[in-house]
Homo-oligomer: A and B are copies of this chain.
Amino acid sequence: SVNPDLASERQTASFCVEKLTALLDGGAEQTRIRRAVVEAIESDPVFSRENQYFQTQNERYEAAVMKAVHLQKKMHEMGWTENGPEYKYIYRALSGDVAFLLHRVFMRSISVLGSDKQIAKWIPLATQHKLIGSYAQTELGHGTYLQGLETTAVFDTATQEFILNTPKISAMKWWPGDMGRSATHTVVFAQLYIHGKCYGIHPFIVQIRSLQDHSLCPGITAGDIGPKMNFEHIDNGYLLLKNVRIPRENMLSKFCEVRPDGTYVRQGSQKINYFTMTTVRISLISDEVLTPLMKACTIAIRYSVVRRQSKLRPGEQEAKILDYQTQQEKLLSQLAAAYAFHFINDYLQELFNRGYREIQNKNFDMLPELHALSSGFKAVITQHCTAGVEICLRACGGHGYSLLSGLPSLYTKILASCIYEGENTILLLQTARFLIKCFMAASSGQPVPPSVTYLASVKHSKCPAKNKLDFLSPDIYTEAYQHVAVRLISNTAAKLQDLVQSGVKKHDAWNQCTVQLVQAAKAHCHYIAVKNFAETVEKLEAKAGIQKIMKHLCDLFALHGIFSNTGAFLHDGYTSAAQMDMATASYLDLLAVIRKDAVPLVDAFDFTDKSLNSALGSYDGQVYQRLYEWAQRAPTNQMSPAYERYLKPLLHNTLSKL
């Protein structure tokens, strides 16, 4: 039975939930396929996550390996293939709680970086799981800056082998997933040396464990890097190489080859590699970043209509906490962001598909723009969604802090997305570098990529809004965002130029502007996200109430950004104080409007109870019963030896006899 406080929220939906779900999925047929996958996975007890919050790191790892192995059978049974329409839903259905994710990266790196011969040799072995692959790039002392990697691969012409070494402790490979305990092979990135000359970083296939008994190969030291904030199910590992010899054929050689005599030959264009990095950044947004925020919103919003606390008006029943303006402000702005980022993700996916087609035709013109967009949006979305999940957690008070709410795990996992695949600050600075270049080009009348043509256009110097309703006009707020982005980019470009002209060296000048460059890059992405949301809403069908509620969310997303960052809009007087007060009034009014549809809006994400794995967020809203039942199963409710050992002697008063 559904908690009546939750049930009543569903009766007044202003739109058709099922239609919105289909929109999010990209069509009703996709919804059907996704639900079939979820059903097949969730009905299989091997994939259960029921006891996850009670398990140790070791138990989590075991379960993830078991699931990965079972998944192969399941796919076979169900007729699912890696190229089939079901594949993209499997990971979501498993909530990512499965091993061997790096095996796919191992395979992809061979496909992209390997010669045809290498692909022909290794891909079938990997596909049939005759080996387990990993990907060893990051070192203990080196992350984002790949040129700084210290692992060496010295070519020995006598034996036609590469000799791999970890010259010092900071060169140890550190973090690669699946490497701590599972992998038999890995792709190692190392500095290539031939006849004493360094040719830079290259990828090498190295076997690290025996295929017979899984013991470490000669010269290999490897293990698990220990406990982390999350990812208990993954055996992130370390790897030390001591005179490990591999045949010449194991250097991945699509782009560079070492001939038997030691001649180094570079062939083809490596540009496709950069494209791979950018697509990885975009591909993680959906599964690793948006899904957790959507789950957190679902949990926190359902809980907030079931939880009652204090009285809004004297004499009444205690109020649902979602009826408090402060709670609405916390949660509904996250909900709006989840939708905004869903739509920008669609936009980015489309752009990257187009980019991929161009690149296959040997046209690399789109690369700089794609790199800037993928870097900037990876950073902005991971940062925003991580903060959003934390807000959802805190908005649930004490119960949010229990692992049983599901929120702590969502938070500790999504937090990692701000760090991996490029640390966010570094990525934003890459976007900023592109923006400054484009701004300079646009200023001197040169052509620039489509997403930055706005840098050349000068519009109003004052916001034309006359009353608070004007701030519900997408033209008004989109232009305000655009104005801020242009101002921050142009001001920072000017500061850079001033510094250099006053004699500061170029690199020092850049460093002295980085705090502001980061702001500029964020403003650019924020503008594009707002613009894209507004354009998406424009194109929606008006029927079934979908367009109307999406318009509200778009307005809220835009106005929340203005309200949270008023200084950017007020700075040069583009927005006056009076206009800011209008925007604030519209923003706060919207909260009460969207609050009415809050539950239907999270229902549309269509998460099953099993996938939420939360005592607070289930569809029926039976929060307290579930917390109590669940707690009773905790390992901490088994008899503790602490009583006999410590408490009994204490209570029976040995201490007072001291």
Name A residues whose Cβ lies closer than 8 Å to a Cβ of B: 53-54, 56-58, 61-62, 65-66, 68-69, 72-73, 76, 128-132, 138, 140-145, 148, 169-170, 172, 174-175, 180-182, 184, 211, 214, 223-229, 235, 238, 307-310, 312-314, 318, 323-327, 329, 390, 393-394, 397-398, 400-404, 408, 412, 415-416, 418-420, 423-426, 429, 505, 507-508, 511-516, 518, 565-573, 577, 580, 584, 588, 624-625, 627-628, 630-638, 640-643, 645-651, 653, 655-656, 658
Chain B residues, Cβ within 8 Å of A393: 415
Q: A415-B401, A419-B394 are in contact. Are A214 and B144 (CB under 8 A)?
A: no
- Partner of A515 from the list B61, B128, B326, B512 (CB cut-off 8 Å) is B326
Q: Is the CB of A408 within 8 A of B229?
A: yes
Query: Which one of B58, B211, B507, B649 contacts A651 once the chains associate, using CB atoms below 8 Å?
Result: B211
4 nearest A-B residue pairs (beta carbon)? A566-B567, A226-B634, A567-B567, A224-B636
A515 / chain B contacts, CB cutoff of 8 Å: 325-326, 329, 588
Complex Cα–Cα for A429 and B518 (A): 34
Given contacts A224-B634, A326-B425, A326-B514, 5 further A-B contacts (CB under 8 A): A58-B640, A69-B646, A227-B634, A397-B423, A515-B588
A143 partner residues in chain B, CB cutoff 8 A = 309, 397-398
Q: How far is the CA of A323 from the CA of B588 in the complex (A)?
A: 42
B169 engages A625 (CB within 8 Å): yes
**Cβ–Cβ < 8 Å partners of A649 in chain B:** 69
* Contacts known (A129-B656, A636-B57); A398 close to B419, Cβ less than 8 A: yes
Q: Are A325 and B511 in contact (CB under 8 A)?
A: yes
Bound: A623/B371 CA distance, A: 33
Check B310 against A641 for contact (C-beta < 8 Å).
no
What residue of chain B has the Cβ atom nearest to residue A138's Cβ? B398
Contacts of A628 in B (CB 8 A): 140, 169, 172, 238
The closest CB in chain B to the CB of A394 belongs to B418
Q: Do B227 and A73 touch across chains, with their CB atoms under 8 A apart?
A: no
What is the oligomeric copy number? 2
Q: Which chain B residues border A323 with CB–CB below 8 Å?
A: 511
Residues in chain B near residue A512, CB distance under 8 A:
325, 588
Task: Give which listed residue, B53, B214, B568, contacts A227 with CB less than 8 A.
Answer: B53
11 contacts between A and B (CB under 8 A): A58-B638, A73-B655, A130-B651, A144-B309, A145-B309, A223-B631, A225-B402, A229-B401, A394-B419, A512-B588, A566-B571
For the complex, what is the distance from the CA of A46 to the CA of B313, rounded to whole Å?
Answer: 54
**In the bound complex, CA of A329 to CA of B323 (Å):** 38
Instruction: Determine if A144 and B56 form an interchain contact, defined as CB atoms under 8 angstroms apart.
Output: no
Q: How far, in Å, is A295 (CB) from chain B's closest CB?
A: 16
By a CB distance below 8 angstroms, the chain B residues around A144 are 309-310
Q: A140-B628, A653-B130 are in contact. Are A314 and B507 (CB under 8 A)?
A: yes
User: Which residues of chain B have C-beta atoms less than 8 A from A568's C-beta?
Assistant: 566-567
Give the residue of B57, B308, B635 whose beta carbon is less than 8 angstroms from that of A635: B57
A227, A310, A397, A416 interface centre (most CB from chain B within 10 Å): A227
Q: Which residue of B lies closest to A639 (CB)?
A: B181
Give the residue name and chain of the B residue nearest to A64 (CB). Answer: B642
> When the two chains form their complex, are residues B630 and A401 in contact, meaning their CB atoms are under 8 A apart?
no
Instruction: Give bound CA distance, A393 to B230, whole Å.
Output: 14
A66 touches B645 (CB 8 A): yes
**Chain B hits for A76, CB < 8 A:** 658
Q: Once the chains bind, are A646 and B309 in contact (CB under 8 Å)?
A: no
Q: Is there an interface contact between A573 and B577, defined as CB atoms closer than 8 Å? A: yes
Specify which chain B residues have a CB less than 8 angstroms from the CB of A518 in the assembled complex: 326
- Residue ID in chain B nearest A170 by CB atoms: B624
Bound CA–CA A318/B146 (angstroms)? 12
Nearest chain B CB to A460 CB, angstrom units: 17
Identity of the chain B residue whose Cβ is nearest the Cβ of A518 in the assembled complex: B326
Contacting pair A567 B580 (CB below 8 A) = yes
**Set of chain B residues within 8 Å of A170, measured between Cβ atoms:** 624
Contact B624 A169 (CB under 8 A): yes
Whether the Cβ atoms of A401 and B129 lie closer than 8 Å is: no
A401 → chain B closest CB, angstroms = 5
Give CA–CA (A634, B232) in the complex, Å.
12
**Alpha-carbon separation in the docked complex, A656 to B127 (Å):** 10
B318 touches A145 (CB 8 A): yes
Partner pick for A140 among B423, B627, B634, CB 8 A cutoff? B627
| CA gap between A571 and B308 in the complex, in Å | 36
Q: How far is the CA of A495 from the CA of B132 in the complex (A)?
A: 65
- Specify which chain B residues have a CB less than 8 angstroms from the CB of A569 in the assembled complex: 567
**Bound complex: CA of A226 vs CA of B642, how far in Å?**
17
Do the beta carbons of A214 and B326 come within 8 Å of each other? no
- Contact check, B647 vs A132: say whether CB atoms are below 8 A apart: yes
In the complex, A655 Cα to B655 Cα: how many Å?
A: 62
Q: What residues of B have a CB within 8 angstroms of the CB of A642 in the complex? A: 61-62, 65-66, 181-182
Check if A226 sits within 8 Å of B658, measured CB to CB: no
Q: How far does the Cβ of A340 sit from chain B's closest Cβ, in whole Å?
A: 20
